[in-house]
């Protein structure tokens, strides 16, 4: 499973592409035609494909994204939120906030009912 690299604040976050693909926003981005041919993509490849060429998310908070990823990865890889996953109320609120912003419907259900 390929990872997508996101730059949030001054940090790089690596997230499985399949986890982000549940977002309508990211899925649309992944479906967009990519430039091809010499000189159209930099030496690091497509945006988000490496730490040196991440997708930059301006105005986002790294702590909120860490909360979302903590929930998102098991939800998209295992299909459930494991009972042993430790999420406090702030983690759930951050996850729900970003899930709504980025249209991540599978996150809405567990977040809304567990808060």
Structural domain boundaries in the chain: 3-114
Distance CA 10, CA 24 (A): 25
* 3-114 maps to CATH 2.30.31.20: no
Q: Which residue has the higher pLDDT, 11 or 47?
A: 11
Over residues 81-102, mean pLDDT? 87
- pLDDT at position 16 is 92
Selection from 46, 67, 60, 58 nearest residue 4 by Cα: 46
Selection from 59, 51, 39, 52 nearest residue 101 by Cα: 59
Q: What are phi and psi of 38, to 5 degrees?
A: -65, 135
Confidence of residue 85 (pLDDT cuts 50, 70, 90): confident
**Range in 41-45, 50-54, 95-99, 101-105 with the lowest mean pLDDT:** 41-45
What pTM did the predictor assign?
Answer: 0.78
- pLDDT at position 81 is 74
Rg (CA), the chain: 15
* Residues 101-110: tens digit of each pLDDT: 999 887 766 5
Q: Which residue has the tokens 């042993």?
A: 84
Distance CA 19, CA 6 (A): 13
- pLDDT at position 35 is 64
Distance CA 6, CA 102 (A): 14
């Amino acid at each position: 499973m390929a990872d997508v690299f996101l730059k949030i604040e001054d940090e790089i976050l690596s997230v499985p592409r399949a986890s982000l693909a549940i977002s309508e926003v990211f899925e649309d981005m992944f479906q967009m035609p990519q430039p091809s041919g010499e000189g159209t993509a930099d030496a690091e490849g497509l945006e988000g494909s490496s730490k040196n060429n991440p997708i930059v998310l301006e105005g986002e908070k790294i702590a909120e994204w860490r909360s979302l990823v903590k929930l998102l990865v098991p939800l998209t890889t295992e299909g459930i939120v494991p009972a042993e996953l430790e999420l406090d109320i702030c983690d759930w609120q951050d996850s729900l906030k970003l899930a709504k912003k980025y249209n991540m419907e599978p996150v809405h259900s567990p977040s809304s009912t567990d808060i």
